[in-house]
Amino acid sequence: MFTHIVQLPRKIKILIMLLCDVILLPLAFWTAIAMRLGTTSPDTSNYEILFVLIVLFTIPIFVRIGLYRSVIRYVDDKIIYTILLGVSLSVLLLTAAVTMGRFITVPRSAILIYWFMATTYITISRYFARGIIRKLEPSEDRRDRIAIFGAGRAGMQTALALFSSKEFLPVAFFDDNVQLQGSTIAGIRVYSPEDALKVIHKKSIKQVLLALPQVSRTRRKEIIQLFDGHNLNLKTIPSFQELISGQVRVEDIRDVGIEDLLGRDIVPPDEKLIQLCVKGKNVLVTGAGGSIGSELCRQILKQTPEILVLVEMNEFALYRIHQELTRLFPYIKIKPVLGNVVNKEQMNRTVKEYSIHTIYHAAAYKHVPLVEENISQSILNNVMGTWSMIQAALANSVQHFVLISTDKAVRPTNVMGATKRLAELTIQMYAKKGEASTKLSMVRFGNVLGSSGSVVPLFKEQIKAGGPVTVTHPEVTRFFMTIPEAAQLVMQAGAMAEQGDVFVLDMGESVKIVDLAVKMINLSGFEVVNNETGRGDIAIEYVGLRPGEKLYEELLIGNNTSQTNHPRIMKAQENFLEYSYLKDKLEELQKLCMVNDTASILKLVKTLVPEYQMAEHHNSSKN
């Protein structure tokens, strides 16, 4: 019988609960009178009308306060407050009815007993119904059992969203708040994090969801490490900024990313700095379809520029970012320009047409192995493209020009790094000449998580395919930063520029790539294969360093650095080449690229960037 009731439509279940209340309310009043008079057969013939009135004015109250809107299967402790409110209003109306109707035979103290009995009966009925429904619910066992870390508002909303999903069944909360521990929220018990592993084992939980949108990154890292190595799939909800609407959806839940393990909190941006070069200005971003370029565009548009010009040579990438930005910022003029930064005439025309105030130059070929195999085209794009954009900026009196550089430009061991160092030198060449009205600067930083050139997307694909995860060398390390943080720091650094400044971002501690691989495997709920026992799910294989690849990256060429007003931005003092000398060499380099004379190109690059250590296959090349 109960199984049949559980499968009834929701409206029928609500009607059943309403009918139960129609019976329980008069029963509570009768019980109160019987207890007051000390008899099981009290004489109520003089005020039988009150039993009808109680139902007539209490049921509408219950409907009004939303008692019948709650889903019985998910009721929690909060329903007690709703019932108390409804019964209290019922008692007030009952007292008024007894007084105005002059029902002198009704014991006045019975009304207080009625308040207690009605609250008890209605509450017990809800929890009794919840217990039956949960026990007989046929679909529960087929869903993945999940624990939620964070029993606050976000956690509660997440639990309610998951209850209606067909994939997950929340069965436990973990929370640092001692006052919440031991309580029940949305019908789920809240446990201390100290008991997490024991509860997970007892309840056969396979996934843990972090509902901690406001927690510090340091604490988030500690929580993730608590579950490390226990074959648990960790997921998380979006950040606090993404939850402004106050609504959590199942589709917003994502796997815990490696960015959650960086272990340092983002410094809130200085609003004055981040707005200085973009608010109300005409801004141009090259490489607008790339990972850094596209994030720069998003951050710029948040500061309401007058116009944003997107320069991108990849048609699909330009289409995609233009569609996204126009959807998110329909009130700002956004102009897509399909073009190549090497095309000096087009770039000059574009900068002039839109009266650009600020340029962020993010366009570059950055995949180290591909650049090693396509030297001429990479130098044309990375070096000559930068030269072209600087000339366009100077010719049109652009106020700020900011180059997005890389840690690979420091003592480069690959062509990509050497081209970026040459791009830096090109900027310094004009800055030191002393005639530029444009404030020229560059911002140097390491890898950004999730970029097209990052190992993170590669590792995700390899894990999804079942492995193996390929690492170049057991000792290789890299600096990492999230894309939004990098973009914000670039904007702030550019605003602090005076002339020819080399800004270096504080990337925190370097990360061993093999440790990164292990963490990503564990976060996905898998175990790394043990080479000795053969046990595990996904293997890690070492494939050797690629041509021109370093074991570790550096951010500074020398030790001459100074701190700026921003805790995450430093300024470096580095060598530069004189304008007349470098200009002639750049023209020579451009001609060599046009005829693809690789040997001469590398020789000239080595002359201009003496710190450049060519890869072995270049040293042995005869071309």
- Mean pLDDT across 157-166: 74
Share of the chain above pLDDT 90, in %: 28
| In a shared domain, residues 312 and 437 | yes
| In a shared domain, residues 481 and 348 | yes
**Within 13 Å, how many C-alpha atoms sit on residue 225's CB side?**
10
| In a shared domain, residues 322 and 241 | no
Instruction: For the chain, give the longest Cα–Cα distance.
Output: 115
In a domain, 606, yes or no: no
- Mean pLDDT across 322-335: 95
Domain boundary among 208, 233, 256: 256
- 3 state SS for 397-410: CCCEEEEEEEHHHC
> Which amino acid, residue 614?
M
| In a shared domain, residues 42 and 95 | yes
Quote the mean pLDDT of the chain. Answer: 82
Cα dihedral 79, 80, 85, 87, rounded to 10, equals 110
Q: pLDDT tens for residues 342-390?
A: 999 999 999 999 999 999 999 999 888 899 999 999 999 999 999 999 9
- 3 state SS for 522-540: HHECCCECCCCCCCCCECE
| In a shared domain, residues 288 and 435 | yes
In a domain, 610, yes or no: no
In a domain, 14, yes or no: yes
In a domain, 530, yes or no: no
Whether 300 and 285 have beta carbons less than 8 Å apart is answered as yes
In a domain, 542, yes or no: no
Domain boundary among 119, 136, 153: 136
With 70 as the cut, is the pLDDT of residue 137 above it? no
Please provide the distance, in angstroms rounded to a whole number, between the alpha carbons at the two ends of the chain. Answer: 86
| In a shared domain, residues 402 and 489 | yes
Which residue has better confidence, 504 or 335?
335
CATH number of the structural domain spanning residue 146: 3.40.50.720
Whether 292 and 404 have beta carbons less than 8 Å apart is answered as yes
Cα separations (Å) of 62 from 11, 79, 355?
Answer: 16, 11, 65
Confidence of residue 340 (pLDDT cuts 50, 70, 90): very high
Range of the domain at 215: 140-256
State phi, psi for 307 to the nearest 5 degrees. Answer: -150, 150
In a domain, 527, yes or no: no
In a domain, 557, yes or no: yes
**Within 13 Å, how many C-alpha atoms sit on residue 256's CB side?**
30
Kindly report whether the global pTM for this prediction surpasses the value 0.85: no
Which residue has better confidence, 608 or 437?
608
| In a shared domain, residues 171 and 27 | no
Number of structural domains the chain divides into: 3
- The pLDDT of residue 386: 96
Q: Where in the sequence numbering do the catalytic residues fall? A: 408
| In a shared domain, residues 232 and 367 | no
Whether 284 and 359 have beta carbons less than 8 Å apart is answered as yes
Tell me how crowded residue 461 is: count the other CB atoms within 10 A of its CB: 10
Structure tokens at 605: 């690059």
| In a shared domain, residues 147 and 126 | no
| In a shared domain, residues 111 and 167 | no
In a domain, 585, yes or no: no
| In a shared domain, residues 225 and 306 | no
With 70 as the cut, is the pLDDT of residue 536 above it? yes
- The pLDDT of residue 400: 94
| In a shared domain, residues 426 and 288 | yes
